[in-house]
Amino acid sequence: MEAQRGGKDGIEVKYIADVYTGFSEKFGLPRQSGIVPELTGRIVFRPEFRNPDAIREIEKFTHLWILFDFSLAHRDEWSPTVRPPRLGGNRCVGVFASRSPFRPNPIGLSCVKLEKVSGTENEGKVLIVSGIDVVSGTPVIDIKPYLPISDCRPDAAGGYSDEMAGYELNVEFAPGVYEKIPENDRDAVTGCIKSDPRPSYHDDPERVYGMVYKGLEIKFKVSESTAYVLSAEETDNDS
């Protein structure tokens, strides 16, 4: 029996869609999908896959699995171990015991909520989702419905991720800064900072971090368990 039925070169993978979000850079993104439910995205199918029959009855599902290409993490070589930033950057785990983007095949997996199916003449049917955790422009490999009867495992162990369960920062805004953020984006920005995008080995209360979201560069510091948002200014780096 052949060990690899797909043949020497495996399968051909096609990009079926692209995700558009408020993040043009990786820093600030939630570490996993669903952590910041206020973050929304648009999944726009590529022309070849804009047949409306391909998503027939998708509205009957509340959540979807999105398989995507970690397009900003391509490398020529791979390592069997990685150092998750959430574990301080000095503890190795197996790459297959992690969700690191640096993998033999840089494929990501996100569970998102399907808010609605929209559409335009130019883009065809578009999926509006929430709880997204990818950079704008990320190519999608596949979309599958989330099935509670089989995908939900309430008794599952989360390994080392359980060590950080429930962790979040308090968020305080300097006077006038909160008002500079568009009202519809305030909860999303607050949620991203609350989830603490810093590597765990960063612990300098004077260090200023910059997160770009929908054309706003948002700067903040972190001292103990509180993030202090210092400014929110327009930038040319808009997604």
Mean pLDDT of 108-124: 94
- Return the CATH superfamily for domain 17-71+106-151: YaeB-like (2.40.30.70)
Question: Which of the two residues, 239 and 112, has the higher pLDDT score?
Answer: 112
Look at the pTM and tell me if it is higher than 0.85: yes
Is the pLDDT at 62 greater than 70? The verdict is: yes
Six token digits for residue 237: 């780096």
* pLDDT the model gives residue 5: 59
The residue among 212, 210, 209, 214 whose CA lies nearest residue 184 is: 214
**Which residues, 6 or more positions from 117, have their beta carbon under 8 angstroms from its beta carbon?**
55, 58, 59, 125, 126, 127, 128
Domain boundaries, the chain: 17-71+106-151, 161-234
Mean pLDDT of 17-34: 93
* pLDDT the model gives residue 200: 74
Encode pLDDT of 132-142 as tens digits.
Answer: 999 999 999 99
Name 117's bridge partners.
Answer: 127
* pLDDT the model gives residue 1: 40
**Following CA atoms 73, 207, 34, 68 in sequence, which dihedral angle do they give, to the nearest 10 degrees?**
-10
CATH number among 3.30.2310.20, 3.40.50.2000, 3.40.50.620, 3.40.50.300, domain 161-234 = 3.30.2310.20
Chain mean pLDDT for the chain: 91
